Amino acid sequence: MTVSEDKPAGPDVILQKKKQYLIPCVYHFYRDPPQIVSGKGVYLYDHKGKKYMDLYSGVSVNALGHCHPEITEAICRQVKTLQHTTTIYLTEPMVNLAEQLAGVLPGDLCRTFFCCSGSEANEGAALLATLYTGRSEFLALQNGLHGRTKLGMSLTGLSFWRTDPSPVGGITHVPSPNCPHCPFSQSYGSCRFECVKAVETAIQSSTSGKPAAMFIEPVQGNGGIIVPPPEYFPGLRKTLDKYNMLLIADEVQTGFGRTGKMFAMENWGVIPDIVTGGKALGGATPIGFFSTTDKIAASYTRPGASTFGGNPVTARAALKFLEVLQRDDLVERCAKLGAVLRSRLENITRQCDVIADVRGLGLMIGVEVVDGKDSTASEITDMILEQMKDEGFFLGKTGPGRNVLTFMPPLIIKESQLVEAVDALEKILQTL
Ligand code: PMP
Protein backbone atom coordinates (compact mmCIF):
# COMPACT_ATOMS: atom_id res chain seq x y z
CA MET A 1 0.00 0.00 0.00
CA THR A 2 1.30 3.44 -0.87
CA VAL A 3 0.94 6.70 0.95
CA SER A 4 -0.62 9.36 -1.26
CA GLU A 5 -1.58 12.85 -0.20
CA ASP A 6 -3.42 13.66 -3.41
CA LYS A 7 -5.60 10.72 -4.37
CA PRO A 8 -7.80 9.49 -1.51
CA ALA A 9 -7.03 5.88 -0.60
CA GLY A 10 -10.71 5.23 0.15
CA PRO A 11 -12.46 3.80 3.22
CA ASP A 12 -11.42 0.17 2.61
CA VAL A 13 -7.69 0.97 2.71
CA ILE A 14 -8.13 3.20 5.74
CA LEU A 15 -10.14 0.56 7.60
CA GLN A 16 -7.49 -2.04 6.77
CA LYS A 17 -4.62 0.16 8.00
CA LYS A 18 -6.61 1.11 11.07
CA LYS A 19 -7.11 -2.56 11.85
CA GLN A 20 -3.46 -3.36 11.28
CA TYR A 21 -1.66 -0.40 12.86
CA LEU A 22 -3.87 1.38 15.39
CA ILE A 23 -4.71 0.31 18.92
CA PRO A 24 -8.18 -1.24 18.56
CA CYS A 25 -9.76 1.23 21.01
CA VAL A 26 -9.77 3.89 18.24
CA TYR A 27 -13.34 3.34 17.14
CA HIS A 28 -15.38 5.11 14.48
CA PHE A 29 -19.00 5.87 13.63
CA TYR A 30 -20.99 4.09 10.88
CA ARG A 31 -21.26 0.63 9.41
CA ASP A 32 -20.32 2.10 6.04
CA PRO A 33 -18.03 5.04 6.85
CA PRO A 34 -16.87 7.52 4.21
CA GLN A 35 -13.31 8.89 4.03
CA ILE A 36 -13.42 12.58 4.86
CA VAL A 37 -11.01 14.53 2.72
CA SER A 38 -11.91 18.19 3.09
CA GLY A 39 -14.12 20.67 4.88
CA LYS A 40 -15.46 24.15 4.30
CA GLY A 41 -17.87 26.07 6.52
CA VAL A 42 -20.52 23.71 7.87
CA TYR A 43 -19.74 21.05 5.25
CA LEU A 44 -17.41 18.08 5.06
CA TYR A 45 -16.61 16.28 1.78
CA ASP A 46 -15.75 12.62 1.26
CA HIS A 47 -13.46 10.76 -1.15
CA LYS A 48 -16.16 10.77 -3.83
CA GLY A 49 -16.91 14.47 -3.47
CA LYS A 50 -20.16 13.85 -1.56
CA LYS A 51 -21.11 16.73 0.75
CA TYR A 52 -22.21 16.29 4.38
CA MET A 53 -23.60 18.93 6.69
CA ASP A 54 -21.58 18.60 9.87
CA LEU A 55 -23.97 18.86 12.82
CA TYR A 56 -21.47 17.52 15.39
CA SER A 57 -18.46 19.83 14.76
CA GLY A 58 -15.86 17.17 15.58
CA VAL A 59 -17.50 16.91 19.04
CA SER A 60 -17.98 20.63 19.72
CA VAL A 61 -14.68 21.77 18.19
CA ASN A 62 -15.35 23.48 14.86
CA ALA A 63 -17.43 26.34 16.26
CA LEU A 64 -16.52 28.55 13.29
CA GLY A 65 -16.95 25.69 10.82
CA HIS A 66 -14.21 23.98 8.84
CA CYS A 67 -11.15 25.81 7.55
CA HIS A 68 -12.44 29.25 8.52
CA PRO A 69 -10.50 31.56 6.19
CA GLU A 70 -9.40 34.01 8.90
CA ILE A 71 -8.20 31.26 11.24
CA THR A 72 -6.46 29.43 8.39
CA GLU A 73 -4.73 32.66 7.42
CA ALA A 74 -3.61 33.34 11.02
CA ILE A 75 -2.25 29.79 11.33
CA CYS A 76 -0.41 29.92 8.00
CA ARG A 77 1.20 33.26 8.79
CA GLN A 78 2.41 31.98 12.17
CA VAL A 79 3.57 28.65 10.75
CA LYS A 80 5.78 30.54 8.31
CA THR A 81 7.21 32.76 11.07
CA LEU A 82 7.69 30.76 14.25
CA GLN A 83 6.17 27.39 15.11
CA HIS A 84 7.52 26.20 18.42
CA THR A 85 9.83 27.18 21.25
CA THR A 86 8.15 25.90 24.48
CA THR A 87 7.44 28.23 27.35
CA ILE A 88 11.08 28.44 28.46
CA TYR A 89 11.44 31.21 25.86
CA LEU A 90 9.29 34.33 25.67
CA THR A 91 6.72 34.48 22.88
CA GLU A 92 3.84 36.93 22.55
CA PRO A 93 0.76 35.03 21.29
CA MET A 94 0.44 32.94 24.49
CA VAL A 95 0.33 35.91 26.86
CA ASN A 96 -2.05 37.79 24.57
CA LEU A 97 -4.34 34.76 24.57
CA ALA A 98 -4.25 34.59 28.38
CA GLU A 99 -5.12 38.29 28.48
CA GLN A 100 -8.06 37.79 26.11
CA LEU A 101 -9.30 34.82 28.15
CA ALA A 102 -9.19 36.89 31.35
CA GLY A 103 -11.51 39.31 29.54
CA VAL A 104 -14.15 36.71 28.69
CA LEU A 105 -13.97 34.40 31.74
CA PRO A 106 -16.55 35.01 34.48
CA GLY A 107 -15.78 36.64 37.86
CA ASP A 108 -12.18 36.94 38.98
CA LEU A 109 -10.89 34.09 36.85
CA CYS A 110 -7.88 35.76 35.30
CA ARG A 111 -4.90 33.37 35.30
CA THR A 112 -4.45 30.56 32.82
CA PHE A 113 -2.19 27.58 32.17
CA PHE A 114 -2.18 26.26 28.60
CA CYS A 115 -1.85 22.62 27.60
CA CYS A 116 -2.95 20.49 24.64
CA SER A 117 -6.19 18.68 25.49
CA GLY A 118 -9.22 18.69 27.72
CA SER A 119 -7.95 15.65 29.62
CA GLU A 120 -4.69 17.42 30.38
CA ALA A 121 -6.61 20.52 31.47
CA ASN A 122 -8.59 18.49 34.00
CA GLU A 123 -5.43 16.79 35.29
CA GLY A 124 -3.93 20.24 35.81
CA ALA A 125 -7.03 21.55 37.53
CA ALA A 126 -7.00 18.60 39.94
CA LEU A 127 -3.34 19.26 40.77
CA LEU A 128 -4.04 22.95 41.31
CA ALA A 129 -6.97 22.17 43.62
CA THR A 130 -4.74 19.84 45.64
CA LEU A 131 -1.97 22.44 45.90
CA TYR A 132 -4.40 25.15 47.00
CA THR A 133 -6.46 23.16 49.48
CA GLY A 134 -3.81 20.72 50.71
CA ARG A 135 -6.41 17.99 50.13
CA SER A 136 -6.50 15.16 47.64
CA GLU A 137 -10.00 13.67 47.38
CA PHE A 138 -12.49 14.64 44.67
CA LEU A 139 -16.18 14.44 43.97
CA ALA A 140 -17.58 14.10 40.46
CA LEU A 141 -20.96 13.47 38.89
CA GLN A 142 -22.29 10.18 37.62
CA ASN A 143 -22.67 10.39 33.82
CA GLY A 144 -19.92 13.03 33.64
CA LEU A 145 -16.90 12.75 31.34
CA HIS A 146 -13.58 14.38 32.13
CA GLY A 147 -11.00 12.69 29.93
CA ARG A 148 -9.01 9.72 28.84
CA THR A 149 -5.98 10.00 31.14
CA LYS A 150 -5.69 7.89 34.29
CA LEU A 151 -7.21 10.55 36.56
CA GLY A 152 -9.56 11.96 33.90
CA MET A 153 -11.01 8.53 33.29
CA SER A 154 -11.35 7.90 37.02
CA LEU A 155 -13.27 11.17 37.38
CA THR A 156 -15.53 10.06 34.54
CA GLY A 157 -18.86 8.59 35.63
CA LEU A 158 -19.84 6.85 32.41
CA SER A 159 -19.08 3.15 32.20
CA PHE A 160 -18.69 3.31 28.39
CA TRP A 161 -15.63 5.54 28.86
CA ARG A 162 -14.20 3.90 32.00
CA THR A 163 -11.89 1.29 30.55
CA ASP A 164 -9.35 1.31 33.38
CA PRO A 165 -9.81 -1.80 35.58
CA SER A 166 -8.01 -0.08 38.49
CA PRO A 167 -9.13 3.55 38.60
CA VAL A 168 -7.52 6.15 40.86
CA GLY A 169 -8.90 6.11 44.41
CA GLY A 170 -10.19 9.03 46.45
CA ILE A 171 -12.93 9.89 43.96
CA THR A 172 -16.61 9.71 44.93
CA HIS A 173 -19.29 9.93 42.26
CA VAL A 174 -22.60 11.48 43.21
CA PRO A 175 -25.94 11.21 41.34
CA SER A 176 -26.30 13.59 38.44
CA PRO A 177 -28.98 16.33 38.40
CA ASN A 178 -30.74 14.49 35.63
CA CYS A 179 -34.41 15.52 35.60
CA PRO A 180 -35.43 13.38 32.58
CA HIS A 181 -34.16 10.31 34.47
CA CYS A 182 -34.17 11.51 38.07
CA PRO A 183 -31.94 9.15 40.08
CA PHE A 184 -34.34 9.70 43.02
CA SER A 185 -37.48 9.00 40.94
CA GLN A 186 -38.82 12.49 41.62
CA SER A 187 -40.30 15.05 39.23
CA TYR A 188 -39.02 18.56 38.80
CA GLY A 189 -41.53 20.96 40.34
CA SER A 190 -42.47 18.70 43.20
CA CYS A 191 -39.01 17.40 44.15
CA ARG A 192 -36.90 18.41 47.12
CA PHE A 193 -33.63 18.56 45.22
CA GLU A 194 -32.28 15.28 46.49
CA CYS A 195 -29.50 15.72 43.90
CA VAL A 196 -28.14 18.71 45.83
CA LYS A 197 -28.54 16.97 49.19
CA ALA A 198 -26.74 13.90 47.87
CA VAL A 199 -23.52 15.90 47.60
CA GLU A 200 -23.42 16.62 51.34
CA THR A 201 -24.39 13.04 52.11
CA ALA A 202 -21.51 11.82 49.94
CA ILE A 203 -19.01 14.19 51.57
CA GLN A 204 -20.08 12.99 55.01
CA SER A 205 -20.42 9.30 54.28
CA SER A 206 -17.83 8.50 51.64
CA THR A 207 -14.92 10.91 52.13
CA SER A 208 -12.65 12.15 54.92
CA GLY A 209 -15.01 15.12 55.12
CA LYS A 210 -12.40 17.23 53.38
CA PRO A 211 -12.32 16.68 49.62
CA ALA A 212 -10.38 19.21 47.57
CA ALA A 213 -12.97 19.90 44.91
CA MET A 214 -15.89 18.72 42.86
CA PHE A 215 -15.72 18.37 39.07
CA ILE A 216 -18.86 19.05 37.08
CA GLU A 217 -19.82 19.55 33.45
CA PRO A 218 -22.34 22.43 33.33
CA VAL A 219 -24.28 20.45 30.72
CA GLN A 220 -23.28 16.81 30.59
CA GLY A 221 -22.31 16.21 26.97
CA ASN A 222 -21.33 12.58 26.63
CA GLY A 223 -23.83 11.83 29.40
CA GLY A 224 -26.63 12.56 26.90
CA ILE A 225 -27.06 16.37 27.03
CA ILE A 226 -28.21 16.66 30.63
CA VAL A 227 -29.10 20.21 31.70
CA PRO A 228 -29.37 20.58 35.50
CA PRO A 229 -32.41 22.38 36.94
CA PRO A 230 -31.90 26.11 37.75
CA GLU A 231 -31.58 25.38 41.48
CA TYR A 232 -28.76 22.86 41.19
CA PHE A 233 -25.59 24.91 40.79
CA PRO A 234 -26.53 27.63 43.33
CA GLY A 235 -27.31 24.84 45.82
CA LEU A 236 -24.12 22.98 44.99
CA ARG A 237 -22.03 26.12 45.42
CA LYS A 238 -23.45 26.57 48.96
CA THR A 239 -22.63 22.98 49.91
CA LEU A 240 -19.09 23.17 48.54
CA ASP A 241 -18.49 26.49 50.33
CA LYS A 242 -19.64 24.91 53.58
CA TYR A 243 -16.90 22.27 53.22
CA ASN A 244 -14.28 24.69 51.83
CA MET A 245 -14.21 22.75 48.59
CA LEU A 246 -13.48 24.19 45.15
CA LEU A 247 -15.90 23.99 42.25
CA ILE A 248 -14.19 22.95 39.01
CA ALA A 249 -16.33 23.49 35.91
CA ASP A 250 -15.24 21.37 32.97
CA GLU A 251 -16.24 23.61 30.06
CA VAL A 252 -14.26 21.58 27.52
CA GLN A 253 -17.40 20.82 25.54
CA THR A 254 -19.70 23.66 26.67
CA GLY A 255 -17.30 26.62 26.52
CA PHE A 256 -17.15 29.50 24.04
CA GLY A 257 -20.77 30.05 23.15
CA ARG A 258 -22.00 26.50 22.64
CA THR A 259 -24.85 26.87 25.19
CA GLY A 260 -25.75 30.45 24.25
CA LYS A 261 -23.40 32.01 26.83
CA MET A 262 -19.65 32.44 26.54
CA PHE A 263 -19.26 29.88 29.37
CA ALA A 264 -22.14 27.60 30.24
CA MET A 265 -21.96 28.30 33.99
CA GLU A 266 -23.16 31.83 33.17
CA ASN A 267 -26.58 30.26 32.51
CA TRP A 268 -26.89 29.87 36.29
CA GLY A 269 -24.86 32.87 37.47
CA VAL A 270 -22.53 30.60 39.44
CA ILE A 271 -18.81 31.33 39.24
CA PRO A 272 -16.51 28.32 39.53
CA ASP A 273 -13.10 28.46 41.22
CA ILE A 274 -11.43 26.77 38.28
CA VAL A 275 -12.64 26.50 34.69
CA THR A 276 -11.13 23.94 32.33
CA GLY A 277 -11.49 24.14 28.58
CA GLY A 278 -10.16 23.17 25.19
CA LYS A 279 -11.90 22.00 22.01
CA ALA A 280 -13.44 25.07 20.27
CA LEU A 281 -10.89 27.60 21.55
CA GLY A 282 -8.09 26.26 19.36
CA GLY A 283 -9.97 26.97 16.12
CA ALA A 284 -9.46 23.26 15.27
CA THR A 285 -5.86 23.10 16.53
CA PRO A 286 -5.21 21.09 19.72
CA ILE A 287 -5.59 23.10 22.92
CA GLY A 288 -6.46 22.74 26.58
CA PHE A 289 -6.33 25.19 29.48
CA PHE A 290 -7.31 25.75 33.07
CA SER A 291 -8.04 29.17 34.49
CA THR A 292 -8.44 30.39 38.05
CA THR A 293 -8.21 33.37 40.40
CA ASP A 294 -5.07 35.20 41.54
CA LYS A 295 -5.48 33.68 44.99
CA ILE A 296 -5.74 30.06 43.89
CA ALA A 297 -3.06 30.46 41.20
CA ALA A 298 -0.62 31.69 43.84
CA SER A 299 -0.43 28.14 45.24
CA TYR A 300 1.18 26.81 42.02
CA THR A 301 4.70 28.25 41.90
CA ARG A 302 6.98 25.29 41.33
CA PRO A 303 7.92 24.89 37.65
CA GLY A 304 5.17 23.59 35.38
CA ALA A 305 5.44 23.17 31.64
CA SER A 306 3.49 21.52 28.85
CA THR A 307 5.82 21.16 25.87
CA PHE A 308 3.27 22.34 23.29
CA GLY A 309 1.02 24.28 25.68
CA GLY A 310 0.61 27.89 24.54
CA ASN A 311 2.59 27.31 21.34
CA PRO A 312 2.51 30.27 18.94
CA VAL A 313 0.54 28.52 16.19
CA THR A 314 -2.31 27.36 18.42
CA ALA A 315 -2.32 30.61 20.37
CA ARG A 316 -2.68 32.60 17.12
CA ALA A 317 -5.52 30.35 15.99
CA ALA A 318 -7.23 30.79 19.36
CA LEU A 319 -6.78 34.57 19.33
CA LYS A 320 -8.42 34.73 15.91
CA PHE A 321 -11.18 32.38 17.05
CA LEU A 322 -12.04 34.62 20.04
CA GLU A 323 -11.91 37.73 17.86
CA VAL A 324 -14.34 36.34 15.26
CA LEU A 325 -16.64 34.80 17.90
CA GLN A 326 -17.12 38.18 19.55
CA ARG A 327 -17.01 40.37 16.45
CA ASP A 328 -19.77 38.35 14.75
CA ASP A 329 -21.93 38.06 17.92
CA LEU A 330 -21.96 34.30 17.54
CA VAL A 331 -22.73 33.59 21.20
CA GLU A 332 -25.99 35.53 21.17
CA ARG A 333 -26.80 34.12 17.75
CA CYS A 334 -26.28 30.61 19.12
CA ALA A 335 -28.88 31.17 21.86
CA LYS A 336 -31.44 32.29 19.25
CA LEU A 337 -30.66 29.55 16.71
CA GLY A 338 -30.67 26.95 19.48
CA ALA A 339 -34.21 27.91 20.44
CA VAL A 340 -35.29 27.55 16.79
CA LEU A 341 -33.62 24.15 16.42
CA ARG A 342 -35.07 22.88 19.65
CA SER A 343 -38.63 23.90 18.88
CA ARG A 344 -38.44 22.39 15.37
CA LEU A 345 -37.11 19.14 16.83
CA GLU A 346 -39.88 19.14 19.42
CA ASN A 347 -42.45 19.60 16.64
CA ILE A 348 -41.26 16.70 14.51
CA THR A 349 -40.79 14.29 17.41
CA ARG A 350 -44.02 14.96 19.31
CA GLN A 351 -45.89 12.18 17.53
CA CYS A 352 -42.92 9.84 17.27
CA ASP A 353 -43.00 6.66 19.38
CA VAL A 354 -39.24 6.17 19.46
CA ILE A 355 -38.39 9.69 20.69
CA ALA A 356 -38.78 10.33 24.42
CA ASP A 357 -37.27 13.77 24.89
CA VAL A 358 -35.67 16.80 23.24
CA ARG A 359 -33.41 18.82 25.54
CA GLY A 360 -30.40 21.09 25.69
CA LEU A 361 -29.14 24.65 25.79
CA GLY A 362 -28.11 26.78 22.83
CA LEU A 363 -26.74 24.66 20.01
CA MET A 364 -26.11 21.67 22.27
CA ILE A 365 -29.23 19.58 21.85
CA GLY A 366 -30.02 15.94 22.52
CA VAL A 367 -32.91 13.88 21.13
CA GLU A 368 -33.41 10.78 23.24
CA VAL A 369 -34.37 7.59 21.46
CA VAL A 370 -36.21 4.76 23.26
CA ASP A 371 -36.61 1.06 22.52
CA GLY A 372 -38.87 0.18 19.58
CA LYS A 373 -40.89 -2.97 18.92
CA ASP A 374 -38.04 -4.93 17.40
CA SER A 375 -34.90 -2.92 18.14
CA THR A 376 -33.18 -1.39 21.14
CA ALA A 377 -32.85 2.37 21.54
CA SER A 378 -29.17 2.19 20.72
CA GLU A 379 -29.80 0.15 17.54
CA ILE A 380 -32.43 2.65 16.42
CA THR A 381 -30.03 5.52 17.15
CA ASP A 382 -27.38 3.86 14.98
CA MET A 383 -29.93 3.29 12.22
CA ILE A 384 -30.93 6.97 12.26
CA LEU A 385 -27.29 8.09 12.30
CA GLU A 386 -26.46 5.86 9.32
CA GLN A 387 -29.46 7.04 7.31
CA MET A 388 -28.77 10.69 8.14
CA LYS A 389 -25.21 10.15 6.91
CA ASP A 390 -26.50 8.64 3.67
CA GLU A 391 -28.74 11.71 3.25
CA GLY A 392 -25.71 13.97 3.76
CA PHE A 393 -25.91 14.90 7.47
CA PHE A 394 -23.52 14.00 10.30
CA LEU A 395 -25.14 13.81 13.74
CA GLY A 396 -23.55 12.85 17.07
CA LYS A 397 -24.47 10.15 19.54
CA THR A 398 -24.22 10.40 23.35
CA GLY A 399 -25.83 9.09 26.53
CA PRO A 400 -25.04 6.22 28.90
CA GLY A 401 -27.14 3.98 26.64
CA ARG A 402 -25.66 5.47 23.42
CA ASN A 403 -29.19 6.47 22.50
CA VAL A 404 -29.19 10.26 22.31
CA LEU A 405 -28.96 11.85 18.86
CA THR A 406 -26.76 14.86 19.41
CA PHE A 407 -26.75 18.20 17.61
CA MET A 408 -23.70 20.43 18.16
CA PRO A 409 -23.38 22.18 14.80
CA PRO A 410 -20.89 24.96 14.05
CA LEU A 411 -22.13 28.23 15.57
CA ILE A 412 -21.95 29.82 12.11
CA ILE A 413 -24.69 27.54 10.77
CA LYS A 414 -27.65 29.24 9.07
CA GLU A 415 -31.24 28.76 10.19
CA SER A 416 -32.11 27.44 6.70
CA GLN A 417 -29.43 24.75 7.07
CA LEU A 418 -30.83 23.67 10.44
CA VAL A 419 -34.28 23.47 8.86
CA GLU A 420 -32.88 21.27 6.10
CA ALA A 421 -31.35 18.92 8.68
CA VAL A 422 -34.54 18.69 10.75
CA ASP A 423 -36.57 18.00 7.58
CA ALA A 424 -34.20 15.13 6.73
CA LEU A 425 -34.55 13.71 10.23
CA GLU A 426 -38.33 13.99 10.07
CA LYS A 427 -38.42 11.93 6.84
CA ILE A 428 -36.26 9.22 8.42
CA LEU A 429 -38.34 9.11 11.62
CA GLN A 430 -41.48 8.64 9.50
CA THR A 431 -40.04 5.44 8.03
CA LEU A 432 -39.29 3.85 11.41
N1 PMP B 1 -14.13 16.99 29.27
C2 PMP B 1 -15.22 16.94 28.50
C3 PMP B 1 -16.50 17.53 29.01
C4 PMP B 1 -15.17 16.36 27.23
O5 PMP B 1 -16.28 16.32 26.47
C6 PMP B 1 -13.95 15.81 26.78
C7 PMP B 1 -13.82 15.14 25.42
N8 PMP B 1 -14.94 14.78 24.76
C9 PMP B 1 -12.82 15.89 27.62
C10 PMP B 1 -12.95 16.48 28.86
C11 PMP B 1 -11.50 15.35 27.17
O12 PMP B 1 -10.96 16.20 26.21
P13 PMP B 1 -9.78 15.70 25.26
O14 PMP B 1 -10.34 14.63 24.37
O15 PMP B 1 -9.39 16.94 24.49
O16 PMP B 1 -8.69 15.21 26.13
Instruction: Measure the CA angle with vertex 369, ends 367 and 375; round to 5°.
Output: 155
d(CA 12, CA 15): 5
Atom of ligand 1 nearest to the CA of 286: 15
Pocket flag, ligand 1, residue 335 (CB < 6 Å): no
Atom of ligand 1 nearest to the CA of 149: 16
Pocket flag, ligand 1, residue 157 (CB < 6 Å): no
Is the CB of residue 292 less than 8 Å from the CB of residue 282? Answer: no
Looking at residue 399, its pLDDT comes to: 98
Is the CB of residue 72 less than 8 Å from the CB of residue 294? Answer: no
Is the CB of residue 413 less than 8 Å from the CB of residue 337? Answer: yes
- H/E stretch holding 205 reads helix 194-206
Residue nearest to atom 10 of ligand 1 (CA): 146
- Residue 377's alpha-carbon distances to 112, 224, 354, in angstroms, are 42, 13, 8
Pocket test for ligand 1, best of 59, 60, 176, 252 (most atoms within 8 A of CB): 252
Strand locations in 151-287, DSSP E? 171-174, 213-216, 246-250, 274-278
Residue nearest to atom 5 of ligand 1 (CA): 253
What is Dmax (Cα atoms) for the chain?
Answer: 64
Looking at residue 1, its pLDDT comes to: 43
Ligand 1 mean position, distance from CA 348 (Å): 31
Ligand 1 mean position, distance from CA 305 (Å): 20
Order across the sheet with 111-115: list the strands: 111-115, 288-292, 274-278, 246-250, 213-216, 138-141, 171-174
Counting as low any pLDDT under 70, the low residues of the chain are 1-5
Ligand 1 mean position, distance from CA 192 (Å): 32
Looking at residue 5, its pLDDT comes to: 61
Ligand 1 mean position, distance from CA 126 (Å): 15
Pocket flag, ligand 1, residue 147 (CB < 6 Å): yes
Looking at residue 223, its pLDDT comes to: 98
Q: Angle at which helices 415-431 and 377-390 pack, to 10 degrees?
A: 130
Looking at residue 6, its pLDDT comes to: 76
Instruction: Tell if the pTM clears 0.95, that is, is over it.
Output: yes
Pocket flag, ligand 1, residue 221 (CB < 6 Å): yes
DSSP letters, 282-299, are GTTS--EEEEE-HHHHTT
